[in-house]
Amino acid sequence: MAVRYLLVVLCTICGVWGFETGPPIDQFPNLCRDMVPTGHQPRNATGASPYRVTSANSTYSPGKSLKVIVEAIDGTTEIEGLFVQARRSGQGKDKNKAIGEFAEPPTKTKLLKCGHANSAWAHSAELEATAAEVTWKAPPCDEGPLVFMATIVKGPKEMYWTGVLSTELTFSGTEGAECSAAPTSASVSGIAMMMSVVLALCLAVFKNYN
């Protein structure tokens, strides 16, 4: 009986993605990376997404804002839930990192922290709307080409589409330099090796003076 109760509780937690409180990123951190709804299996959506993601501009400038819209292509298909991030799309870029910040979420939506504050936009209740609009603020530097990536739930919860992409946004502006990349594992290993050599030399000098 206790085991059955525990399973019911766990299933309830896993099933909230599409309806009540939005993506449970605190319980399932991988959601920020793969954007695949937890507790929505088996997925039964087929064919192309009936939704699209658009932005007010085809370019972005350092620190500037633009509008992002998720909407039904036919203008009538309702959206129950959504999860949206801006992602890099250029060759050789980390495409799993959320870029920029969202602001001014409309009713029944909220902002989430996926790496940094307000980097994702999601529902907080059943939307029951054919479109939703939010503001996105570009990063202070050139991140290369970007797209808005969305997971959209039509309802029931098993009917959803992932990887719904906007058209590509390119960088426009002279203020921002190219964003610095995080150190690679190779560069980190090189730094660690160099520090080891320096430490060994220091120890050798210390012994000679004693």
Which pLDDT tens digits describe the chain residue by residue (210 residues)?
544 443 333 443 344 344 457 899 999 989 999 999 887 777 878 899 999 999 999 999 999 999 999 999 999 999 999 999 999 998 888 999 999 999 999 999 999 999 999 999 999 999 999 999 999 999 999 999 999 999 999 988 889 999 999 999 999 987 556 676 544 433 333 433 444 443 454 445 445 555
- In the chain, what are the domain boundaries? 29-175
| The pLDDT of residue 43 | 80
Residue tagged 């502006």 (tokens): 173
If DSSP states are collapsed to H, E and C, what string results for 166-210? CCCEEECCCCCCECCCCCCHHHHHHHHHHHHHHHHHHHHHHHHCC
| The pLDDT of residue 189 | 38
Q: In what order do the strands lie in the sheet containing 131-137?
A: 51-55, 65-72, 131-137, 101-103
Task: Provide the CATH number for the domain formed by 29-175 in this structure.
Answer: 2.60.40.4060
- The one-character DSSP state at 157 is T
Identity (one letter) of the amino acid at 171? F
- The one-character DSSP state at 41 is P
- Nearest CA to 151 out of 128, 126, 124, 123 is that of 123
- Nearest CA to 106 out of 67, 57, 144, 152 is that of 67
Stated pTM of the model: 0.76
| The pLDDT of residue 72 | 98
| The pLDDT of residue 97 | 97
